[in-house]
Amino acid sequence: MKIVFLGTGDIGLPTLSAIQNSEEHDILAVYTQPDRPFGRKGDLKVSEIKLFAQSCSIPVHQPEKIREIEAIESLVNYTPDIIVVIAYGQILPKSVLDVPKIECINLHASLLPYHRGAAPIQASILAGDVRTGVTVMYVGEGLDDGDILFSISLDITAEETGGSLHERLGKLGPDAVLHSLELLSSGSAPREEQEHGLATHVTKIKRSDGMINWSKPARHIDRLVRAYDPWPGTFTSFPDHSNIKIFPPVEIVEYEGSDPGKIIDMDSNGILVACGKGALRISEIQPSGRRRMLVPAYVAGKELKIGDVLGVED
């Protein structure tokens, strides 16, 4: 089948590669978000999707808005059978949905209707889910509310991070999408309406979302640290006003006190910090502008002591 691929996030790369390498399908073009300034220097960041497409001599389009007339006209000119969408970053208007001869399908990194929206992988960990997966759906005009075509599930481990789950879900994409394309090609693709009453929604993550609120239970903060690794990371402030990034794993420890943010123990394994319920032992951190290090290496020479409170600002 003739396919146009819309995607920006790295999670779509394994699927794009699988489609490109298949004998049954021909990728006519790739549409991805424009290159954006990134980092302190503001250098333009090129998506891995774009780099892969260029390496395969696939035409690349980067419209600011996919609803632009020029973007729609270019899509129409390709006359695709299917449009495949994975982490593209824009809601598709009806003018795009009407372009393909057969369907416009999307691979979403959750078991819909749960965690519709921009950050389903992190949301699954934050919610304490024990199971997630990928869903191939027919794209509608709403946000991730289209009928379900196919899904594959997997278990979430107790040590799962946003990065590890992103990688594992990305590896499910090729099988899910290629099987869906086979069903669509044969005219036997199912169509199951989502249970909309069970839907949950997640918004785009901001860097500020990673600031730790020590009044939350230790179990919640543990999930936050894992979900937001590697991006945007989780942060707290130390008594010397330094901004500190915290890395998983952190250890949940039973504690009956009520001193959120207070350092209640220090040893060679790190520092133990009281939470709204329980406590967390932090072992690895990264001070702003410095390298990642073990907590004892940072504490050496610092006037940090039991009883100090993290996360307190003037």
User: Residue 43 pLDDT more than 90?
Assistant: no
The encoded tokens of residue 70 equal: 């020029």
Does residue 10 contact residue 48 with C-beta atoms inside 8 Å? Answer: yes
Q: Angle at Cα 185 formed by Cα 183 and Cα 190, nearest 5°?
A: 35
What is the distance between the alpha carbons of residues 268 and 265, in angstroms, rounded to a whole number?
10
Q: Is the pLDDT of residue 26 over 70?
A: yes
d(CA 80, CA 122): 33
Q: What mean pLDDT is predicted for residues 177-196?
A: 97
Helices 13-21 and 48-55, packing angle to 10 deg: 20
Domain 207-299 class in CATH: alpha beta
pLDDT score for 314:
42
Model confidence at 201: pLDDT above 90: yes
Query: 154: burial class by Cβ within 10 Å (0-12, 13-18, 19+)?
Result: middle
Per-residue model confidence (pLDDT) at position 94: 95
- Asked if 185 and 29 touch (Cβ cutoff 8 Å), the reply is no
248 vs 242 pLDDT, higher one: 248
Q: Is the dihedral of CA 38, 92, 207, 50 positive or negative?
A: negative
Computed over every residue of the chain, the mean pLDDT equals 95
Residue 67 burial (CB < 10 Å; 0-12/13-18/19+)?
middle
How deeply is 161 buried, as exposed, middle or buried, from its count of CB atoms within 10 A (0-12, 13-18, 19+)? buried
Cα–Cα dist 112/120, whole Å: 10
Angle at 178 between CA 174 and CA 184, to 5 degrees: 150
Q: What pLDDT score was predicted for residue 178?
A: 98
**What is the mean predicted confidence (pLDDT) over 255-280?**
95
**How far, in Å, CA of 150 to CA of 154, rounded?**
14
pLDDT given for residue 240 in this prediction: 80
Residue 301: per-residue pLDDT: 75
- Reported as a pLDDT band with limits 50, 70 and 90, residue 246 is very high
Q: pLDDT tens digits, residue range 28-41?
A: 999 999 998 876 66
Asked if pLDDT for residue 198 goes beyond 50, the answer is yes
Contact 240, 302 (CB under 8 A): yes
Name which CATH class applies to 2-202: alpha beta
**For residue 2, which phi and psi values (nearest 5 degrees)?**
-90, 125
Q: For 87-124, what is each residue's pLDDT tens digit?
A: 999 999 999 999 999 999 999 999 999 999 999 999 99
The residue-averaged pLDDT of 58-76 equals 97
Token code pair at residue 166: 């992103």
Q: Mind listing the pLDDT tens digit for each residue in 117-172?
A: 999 999 999 999 999 999 999 999 899 999 999 999 999 999 999 999 999 999 99
Task: CATH 3.40.50.170 in the chain: give the residue spans.
Answer: 2-202
* Model pTM score: 0.94
Burial class (CB in 10 A: 0-12, 13-18, 19+), 197: exposed
Could you give the CA distance from residue 280 to residue 223 in angstroms, rounded to a whole number?
12
- 218-224, long-range: CB < 8 A, 24+ apart: 218/252, 218/253, 218/255, 218/275, 218/276, 218/277, 218/278, 218/279, 218/280, 219/128, 219/252, 219/277, 219/278, 221/250, 221/275, 221/280, 222/248, 222/250, 222/252, 222/280, 223/125, 223/126, 223/128, 224/126
pLDDT of residue 39: 66
Decide the pairing of beta strands 270-274 and 279-282: antiparallel
Q: Does residue 284 have a pLDDT over 70?
A: yes
Please tell me the predicted confidence (pLDDT) of residue 185.
96
Rounded to 10°, the helix 13-21/162-186 angle is 30
Q: Where does the chain hold its CATH 3.10.25.10 domain(s)? A: 207-299
For a pLDDT cut of 90, what percent of the chain falls above it?
89
Percent of the chain with pLDDT over 70: 98
CA-wise closest residue to 283 among 311, 310, 253, 247: 247
